[in-house]
Amino acid sequence: MSQFDTRSKPADSQTGTVPGTSVPRIEIDPSVFTWGGDGVAGSTGGKAGAGGENVFSRSYGDDAKPAADKAQPATPGKDQPTPDKTAKDLKAGYVNNPRAVRSLEALTGDSAYKSLSDEKKSELLGQFKSAPNDATTNFLKGLAEYEKAKAEDKSGDPAKEAERLAKLQDAKTPDSGTFSVGGQNYTIREGKLVDAKGTDAGTIDNLGNYQMTGDKTASNYYNTLGARVKLQEGEGKAQKTLLDLHAVDPAGQLSGSGMNDTFTSKAFDTLRAVRREGMDMGAAPQGAYRSFEEQDRLFAKGRTAPGKKVTGARGGESWHNYGVAADLAFYNEGGNITWPETGDYARLWTRYGELAKQQGLRWGGDWTGLVDRPHIEYHPGYGDGQSRQLIDAHRRGGNEAAWDMMGIGELPNGAGAPAGPPRPGAPARPTAPARPGQPPRRQ
C-alpha cells in the first residue's frame, strides 16, 4: 500500500468499512505520518518504510535517495533559521520567478500551515524548494490541513482519520489533465492515467511521480524531458491548472548529430531545473547545431538575402557551429515556442539564465550590446567571442577536433584528427569514450 493509498482494506471477510459507517477502513502505519527525511510524500507506488521512513520519505520518483544518506531535520534554534526567515530567503531566491513566489505565498499564507510547529513548517518549506510550483503547493497545503485536523481531533475515531486521509489523497493527486510519454497519450482522472480505450494505464500525482501499469517503480515527469504533462484541480469555473509542461526537444535537436555530449548534458539539467519551477521551455527552431554553411545563410538574411537580420555571426563565428550552444524559449498555451517579453516573462528569462549558469553555462542575457536571452553556450578555455579561433581545428578534424581544443572531446586521445594541444584552462581530454550506453545520436 502506498503512503497515502486510501484504498479500502477489509478488517475481516465481512466488511471493508468502519462499523456503522460508509467510510472505507484503512490500515494505518503510524510511522507514515511522522516528520523527517528529505523528500516529499513517497512515490505513487512506494511503501512507508520502518522506523521513520515517513511522509517525507521518497520524493519525485527518480530522485529518491537511500535512507542512509538522509539527514535528520533540525529544530529551528540558535543555529537554525526560523521558518519565517527561511520563507523570506526562499522568496528572495525566487525573485526572478514570480510564479514560484506566488506559490510560496499561497503556502505560507494558508491558515493550516500557520498552525503548524516551526519544525513542521521548516519541513514543508524544504519540500517546496524541491519543486517550487503550484502542484507541490497543492499537496503541501493538503498535508498541513491533515496535520492541523489530526491535532485538533482528540476522539481517536478511525472514521474521522479515514476522512482526513481521503482529503490528503485528493490533495496529492490531480483531478484532471493530460499526460503523454513514449508516444502514448493519456487522460488524467482523479490521479489515474486512462488510455484512449478507457483503460486504466497507470497513476500520476502532484509530486513529480508517474507509474505505468506493470512498472515496478515510479518515474519522474520533471526528469522525463520528453513527457508532456498538464495537471488540473477543480471543475468548471473553479478549475485551475497546477502544472503545464511540454516535451523539451521533440525534434531531437539537442541530442542531434553535431552536438557535444557535455554541453547537451548541461542543457538538459538546466531544463530539468526550469521544469521543477513550473517554467515551460524547450528548444527553439534552428536552436542547436548549425553547420558553417547554415550559419552563412542566416548571416546573409537582411544583407544579401531577403528578410530581417537574425545574426551577426558568419560560419565558424558562432558556438552553434561547434555543437556547444542552444537557444531555449517558452511554450505558449498552443504548444508553440515563443519569445514573450511582458508580464512574468520579463523576469522569467533572468531566472532561466540563473539556472543555466548554475550548470556552468554562459547565458546570452548577460551580454552587452546584442543581448540574446534564449542563448546558452559552453566553451571551456575560450571567451564568448573567441569561437573563430577554432576554425582551423574544425577544418582539420571537424567538431571533434574543436572539442578536443576545449577539453571536451568525445573520443579517446589519438582516435580523432589531430587538433593541437588543449587551450590553457580547458578541462583534460577524456581517455575513454564518453558516457557508455548513451542512446545513439539522431542523424
Please write the tens of the pLDDT for every residue from 5-27.
333 333 333 334 434 444 333 33
Separation between Cα atoms, residue 350 and residue 247, nearest integer Å: 21
Class at the top of the CATH hierarchy for domain 261-406:
alpha beta
Average pLDDT estimate for 86-112: 98
Picking from 53-62, 75-84, 149-158, 356-365, which range would have the lowest pLDDT averaged per residue?
53-62
Q: 320-342 b/e with 16+ CB inside 10 Å = b?
A: bbbbbbbbbbbbeeeeebeeeee
Residue 347: predicted pLDDT: 98
Closest CA to 135 of 3, 277, 247: 277
Average pLDDT estimate for 269-276: 98
Residue 396: predicted pLDDT: 95
Q: Where in the chain are the domains? A: 30-172, 176-245, 261-406
Residue 423: predicted pLDDT: 55
Residue by residue, what is the 3-state secondary structure of 369-425? Answer: CCCCCCEEECCCCCCCCCHHHHHHHHHHHHHHHHHHHHCCCCCCCCCCCCCCCCCCC
Residue 367: predicted pLDDT: 93
Residue 415: predicted pLDDT: 52
Decide if pLDDT at 306 tops 80: yes
Decide if pLDDT at 152 tops 80: yes
Average pLDDT estimate for 314-333: 97
Closest CA to 75 of 106, 40, 41, 121: 121
Residue 78: predicted pLDDT: 56
Better-predicted residue by pLDDT, 309 or 416 = 309
Residue 425: predicted pLDDT: 55
What does the pLDDT look like over 371-383, one tens digit per residue? 999 999 999 999 9
Q: What is the DSSP string of 252-305?
A: --TTBTT--HHHHHHHHHHHHHHHHTT--EEEPTT-S---HHHHHHHHHBTTTB
Decide if pLDDT at 196 tops 70: yes
Decide if pLDDT at 82 tops 90: yes
Closest CA to 399 of 416, 375, 377, 382: 416
Average pLDDT estimate for 30-38: 32
Mean pLDDT of the chain: 82
Better-predicted residue by pLDDT, 43 or 123 = 123
Can you name the residues that pair with 327 across neighbouring β-strands?
Answer: 375
Per DSSP, 206 falls in state T
Decide if pLDDT at 272 tops 60: yes
Decide if pLDDT at 193 tops 90: yes
Average pLDDT estimate for 173-193: 98
Residue 330: predicted pLDDT: 98
Picking from 48-52, 108-112, 223-227, which range would have the lowest pLDDT averaged per residue?
48-52
Phi, psi of 402 (to 5 degrees): -65, -40
Residue 349: predicted pLDDT: 98
Average pLDDT estimate for 161-175: 97
Better-predicted residue by pLDDT, 326 or 46 = 326
Decide if pLDDT at 296 tops 80: yes
Decide if pLDDT at 430 tops 80: no
Residue 23: predicted pLDDT: 37
Going by pLDDT thresholds of 50, 70 and 90, the confidence category of residue 422 is low
